[in-house]
Structure 1
Amino acid sequence: MRRSTVIFIAALAVFVAVITVMAGAGMISTSFVKTLGMTLCLCLAAVAMDLVWGYAGILSLGHMAFFALGGYMIGMWLMYARTEAIVIEALSGQPLPATPEEIRQGIGNQIFGVIGTSDIPWVWGFAHSLPLQLLLVVLVPGVLAGLFAWLAFRSRVTGVYLSILTQAGTLALALHLFQNDSGLRGNNGLSGLQNLPGVSASQDATSLWLFWASALALAAGYLLAAWVVGGKFGSVIRAIRDDEQRVRFLGYPVEGFKLFVFTLTAVIAAIAGALYYPQAGIINPAEMMPIASIYLAVWVAIGGRGRLYGAVIGAAVVSLLSSWFTGGRAPSIPLGFYTIDWVDWWQVLLGLVFVLVTLLAPRGIGGLFK
Structure 2
Amino acid sequence: MTSLTESPVAPPHRRPLAMRHPSVLVFLALLALLTIMVTVMSEAVGTGALSTSLTKTLGKTLCLCLVALAMDMVWGYCGILSLGHMAFFGLGGYAIGMWLMYERTRLIVVDSLAQQPLPPTPEEVRDGIATQIFGVVGASEFPPIWAFAHSLPLQLLAVVLVPGLLALVFGWLAFRSRVTGVYLSILTQAMTLALALYLFQNDSGLRGNNGLSGLQNVPGLSDVPQSTVSLWFFWASAAALGLGYVLCAWIVSGKFGSVIRAIRDDEARVRFLGYPVEGYKLFVFTLTAAIAGIAGALYYPQAGIINPAEIAPIASIYLAVWVAIGGRGRLYGAVIGAAVVSLLSTWFTGGQAPDVVLGPLRVQWVDWWTVGLGLSFVLVTLFAPRGIGGLIDLIHERAAPGRHGADLGPDQGALREQEAER
TM-score normalised to structure 1 length: 0.99
Instruction: Please name the residue that 2:410 is paired with.
Output: none
1:325 aligns to what? 348
2:310 is matched with which residue? Answer: 287
Q: Which residue is 1:311 aligned to?
A: 334
- 1:4 corresponds to which residue? 23
RMSD (Å), alpha carbons: 0.6
Q: How does 1:165-180 map to 2 (within 5 A)?
A: 165-180=187-202
SS at match of 2:328: coil
Report deviation, 1:2: 2.4
Correspondent of 2:167 among 138, 145, 150 = 145
Residue number in structure 2 paired with 1:164: 186
Task: Please say if 1:94 is aligned against 2:94.
Answer: no
How much has 1:333 moved relative to structure 2?
Answer: 1.2
**Equivalent residue number for residue 296 of structure 2:** 273
2:194 is paired with a residue of what secondary structure?
helix
| 1:111 equivalent in structure 2 | 133
Rounded to whole Å, the distance in 1 between the matches of 2:315 and 2:178 is 26
How many Å separate the matches in 2 of 1:2 and 1:340?
Answer: 43
After superposition, where does 1:218-233 map in structure 2 within 5 Å?
A: 218-233=241-256
Deviations 1:148-200 (A, max 9, x none): 00000000000000000000010000000000010000000000000000113
Give deviations 1:56-84, integer Å, cap 9, x for gaps. Answer: 00000000000000000000000000000
SS in 2 for 1:256: helix
Q: Give the length in aligned residue pairs.
A: 370
Indicate whether 1:300 and 2:293 are aligned. no
User: Which residue of structure 2 lines up, in the alignment, with residue 358 of structure 1?
Assistant: 381
Corresponding residue SS for 2:341: helix
Secondary structure of the structure 1 residue equivalent to 2:22: helix
What's the CA shift string for 1:320-368, capped at 9, x where partnerless?
0000000000001123412110000001100111111111110000011
Query: Helix, strand or coil: the match of 2:124?
Result: helix
User: SS in structure 2 opposite 1:172?
Assistant: helix
**Which secondary structure state, in structure 1, belongs to the residue aligned with residue 119 of structure 2?**
coil
The match for 2:72 is 50
Aligned AA (2:279)? G
Tell me by how many angstroms 1:10 deviates. Answer: 0.5
Return the alpha-carbon distance in structure 2 between the equivalents of residues 117 and 166 of structure 1. 32
SS at match of 2:353: coil
Partner of 1:79: 101
Residue pairs, 1:342-353, within 5 angstroms? 342-353=365-376
Which residue is 1:17 aligned to? 36
Give 5+ residue unaligned stretches, structure 2. Answer: 1-19, 394-422
Aligned counterparts of 1:49 and 1:157: Cα–Cα separation in 2: 19
- Counterpart of 2:261 in structure 1 is 238
Match of 1:263 among 283, 286, 300: 286
Measure how far apart 1:233 and its partner are.
Answer: 0.2
Deviation for aligned residue 1:283: 0.1
Residue among 42, 51, 61 paired with 1:39:
61
In structure 1, what is the equivalent of residue 14 of structure 2?
Answer: none
Q: Match of 1:128, SS?
A: coil
One-letter amino acid matched to 1:198: G
* In structure 1, C-alpha distance between the alignment counterparts of 2:70 and 2:356, rounded to whole Å: 37
Corresponding position of 1:195: 217
Partner of 2:402: none
Query: Displacement, 1:201?
Result: 1.0
Q: Secondary structure at the match of 1:334?
A: strand
User: Match of 1:68, as an amino acid?
Assistant: G
Give identity over the alignment, percent.
75
Greater than 3 Å deviation, 4+ residue runs: none
Deviations 1:194-241 (A, max 9, x none): 000011311000000000000000001100000110100000000000
In structure 1, what residue type is equivalent to 2:218?
A: L
Counterpart residue number, 2:51: 29
CA distance in 2, matches of 1:311, 1:240: 20
Quick one: which of 127, 146, 149 aligns to 1:127? 149
The 1-side partners of 2:370 and 2:209 are apart by: 24
SS at match of 2:217: coil
SS in 2 for 1:101: helix
Shift of 1:51: 0.2
CA displacement, residues 11-42 of structure 1 (integer Å, 9 cap, x when unaligned):
00001100110112100100000000000000
Three-state SS of the structure 2 residue aligned to 1:339 is: strand
State the distance in 2 between where 1:28 and 1:281 align.
Answer: 19
In the aligned structure 1, how far is the partner of 2:377 from the partner of 2:204? 36
TM-score by length of 2: 0.87
More displaced 10-residue stretch of structure 1: 57-66 or 351-360: 351-360
